[in-house]
């Protein structure tokens, strides 16, 4: 039995979908613990491609239970569209469960998110415009609507009438937008409530029961460490806690129940939206990474900013998440390059800095200090073992692991499941604790 958290080690879009899909094979339960419809992964079923924003991809395994935890925010309209899409494909959603204490994204959240972004002008965050920030803001302000409120018809009428009138003042007076009709919204959401009612549970209890029965639980993080509200590049972050610690808060589970944390990082770095990005490449090489890596957002279709691998944020992600091992994805995207750079430290005001600075202003001033490694200039997409990899690719991976002091357990070389090299069993293999005295992961010694 192992309870495993999978987190993004960069700014999201690291390829967590593929890694959770691989690991879901041995999971009995997959739990999403934060975020909302700002996340997204593309699924191909029976030759048809579609996108899931809320439902974990574990739903494709008939025996796997999928739970949308209390730390998430749920847009019922999007969730129902996902349920309908799955039904059309004859994929059962009988094993989907929704936490009764998750918060609900309302139409005014989406409107305020977009209007506030416009108002911010040069200071905009580059949000997905899906109402995520305002939904979490209401949760903190204690004016949010929870899934269990949605299930209480009369209570919802009372609560929404007051809330919508209050939000209308903001929409009209602050943003010059037309007001919402409370009755229209109430009827719309009562309709959603009936569709979602069969799925609603006490998710914390359900997860605890599963643990008591010694079932394997996979906690699936959305976004990434550097987008974490508390530990990311604030204010250019999302409004939830994608870090491993968020899995406990976002599910109602104690930290002693977690066995392992697996990080996922791309072999280079990408970021969507605004905010500092020291290793960003605004040249042909950045374009090459973007086109070879098909770096366009699943949710908004926006072009992702691309850059070299940043081991400073990598080390930070290892620390903040207590990461046991790492999956490196999209190594094949680097195949054509003659030289590959890795940011080993930053320079700020003429001084070398090895650690991620918490201040966004300071982070903005960081200049990357690079180490240049030779590329391998051959295709790796068909490599299926460590031995198949070109020497330069092996050296690149070893260099990353040594810099971040974490074992690399998985290397991904393409979208399909078989384009994967498993170096260590990510669930039962060596833990981060198994480091040599100089900090080198034991698992690297014989590589």
Contact between 12 and ligand IMP (CB under 6 A)? yes
Q: How far apart are CA 362 and CA 350, in angstroms?
A: 13
The window from 121-129, 153-161, 202-210, 368-376 that contacts ligand IMP (CB under 6 A) reads: 121-129
Contact residues for 296 (Cβ-Cβ < 8 A; gap 6+) = 302, 303, 304
Q: Is 84 a catalytic residue?
A: no
Give the one residue of 210, 243, 272, 290 binding ligand IMP; rule: CB under 6 A.
272
Q: Is 13 a catalytic residue?
A: yes
Residue whose C-alpha is closest to residue 16's, from 326, 343, 385, 401? 326
CB of 337 within 8 A of CB of 373? Answer: no
Contact between 127 and ligand IMP (CB under 6 A)? yes
CA distance between the termini of the chain: 29
Contact between 130 and ligand IMP (CB under 6 A)? yes
Q: How far apart are CA 339 and CA 328, in angstroms?
A: 19
Q: How far apart are CA 376 and CA 391, in angstroms?
A: 8
Strand pairing partners for 8?
Answer: 264
Query: Looking at beta carbons only, is 309 or 396 nearer to ligand IMP?
Result: 309
Give the one residue of 10, 100, 216, 238 binding ligand IMP; rule: CB under 6 A.
238
Query: Looking at beta carbons only, is 223 or 380 nearer to ligand IMP?
Result: 223
Site size toward ligand IMP (CB under 6 A) is 19
Query: Looking at beta carbons only, is 120 or 394 nearer to ligand IMP?
Result: 120
Residues 172-211: x/- map of binding to ligand IMP (CB under 6 A)? ----------------------------------------
CB of 98 within 8 A of CB of 147? Answer: yes
Give the one residue of 4, 13, 295, 322 binding ligand IMP; rule: CB under 6 A.
13
Q: Tokens standing for 272? A: 């969507």
Q: How far apart are CA 280 and CA 298, in angstroms?
A: 20
Q: How far apart are CA 66 and CA 206, in angstroms?
A: 11
Residues 17-46: x/- map of binding to ligand IMP (CB under 6 A)? ---------------------xx-------
Query: Looking at beta carbons only, is 141 or 349 nearer to ligand IMP?
Result: 141
Q: How far is the CB of 59 from ligand IMP (least distance, A)?
A: 18
Instruction: Evaluate the omega torsion of the peptide bond into residue 235 and state whether it is cis, within 30 degrees of 0.
Output: yes
Contact between 241 and ligand IMP (CB under 6 A)? no
Q: How far apart are CA 386 and CA 209, in angstroms?
A: 39
Catalytic residues: 13, 41
Task: Note the residues at the interface with ligand IMP (CB under 6 A).
Answer: 12-13, 38-39, 125-128, 130, 132-133, 222-223, 227, 236, 238-239, 272-273
């Amino acid at each position: 039995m192992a309870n495993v958290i999978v987190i993004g080690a960069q700014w999201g879009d690291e390829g967590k979908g593929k890694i959770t899909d691989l690991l879901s094979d041995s999971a009995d339960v997959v739990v999403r613990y934060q975020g909302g419809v700002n996340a997204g992964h593309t699924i191909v079923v029976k030759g048809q491609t579609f996108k899931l924003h809320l439902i974990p991809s574990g739903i494709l395994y008939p025996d796997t239970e999928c739970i949308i935890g209390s730390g998430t925010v749920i847009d019922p309209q999007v969730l129902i569209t996902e349920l309908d899409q799955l039904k059309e494909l004859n994929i059962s959603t009988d094993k989907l469960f929704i936490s009764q204490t998750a918060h609900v994204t309302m139409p005014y959240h989406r409107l305020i998110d977009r209007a506030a972004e416009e108002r911010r002008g040069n200071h905009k965050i580059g949000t997905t415009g899906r109402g995520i920030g305002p939904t979490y803001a209401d949760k903190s302000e204690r004016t949010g609507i929870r899934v269990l409120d949605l299930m209480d018809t009369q209570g919802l009428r009372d609560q929404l009438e007051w809330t919508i009138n209050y939000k209308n003042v903001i929409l009209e007076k602050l943003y010059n937008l037309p007001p919402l009709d409370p009755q229209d919204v109430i009827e719309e959401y009562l309709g959603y409530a009936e569709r979602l009612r069969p799925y609603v549970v006490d998710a914390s209890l359900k997860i605890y029961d599963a643990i008591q029965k010694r079932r394997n639980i996979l906690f699936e993080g959305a976004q990434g460490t550097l987008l974490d509200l508390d530990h990311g590049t604030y204010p250019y972050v999302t409004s939830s806690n994608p870090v491993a610690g968020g899995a406990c808060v976002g599910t109602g589970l104690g930290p002693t129940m977690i066995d392992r944390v697996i990080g996922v990082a791309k072999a280079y770095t990408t970021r969507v939206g605004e905010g500092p990005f020291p290793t960003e490449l605004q040249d042909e090489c950045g374009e090459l990474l973007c086109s070879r890596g098909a770096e366009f957002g699943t949710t908004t279709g926006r072009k992702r900013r691309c850059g070299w691998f940043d081991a400073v944020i990598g080390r930070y992600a290892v620390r903040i998440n207590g990461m046991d091992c790492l999956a490196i994805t999209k190594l094949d995207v680097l195949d054509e390059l003659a030289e590959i750079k890795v940011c080993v430290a930053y320079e700020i005001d003429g001084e070398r800095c090895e650690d991620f600075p918490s201040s966004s202003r300071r982070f903005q001033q960081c200049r990357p200090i690079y180490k240049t490694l030779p590329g391998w200039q051959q295709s790796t997409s068909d490599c299926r073992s460590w031995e198949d990899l070109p020497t330069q690719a092996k050296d690149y991976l070893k260099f990353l692991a040594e810099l971040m002091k974490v074992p690399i357990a998985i290397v991904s070389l393409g979208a399909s499941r078989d384009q994967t090299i498993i170096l260590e069993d990510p669930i039962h293999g060596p833990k981060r604790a198994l480091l040599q005295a100089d900090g080198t992961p034991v698992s690297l010694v014989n590589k």
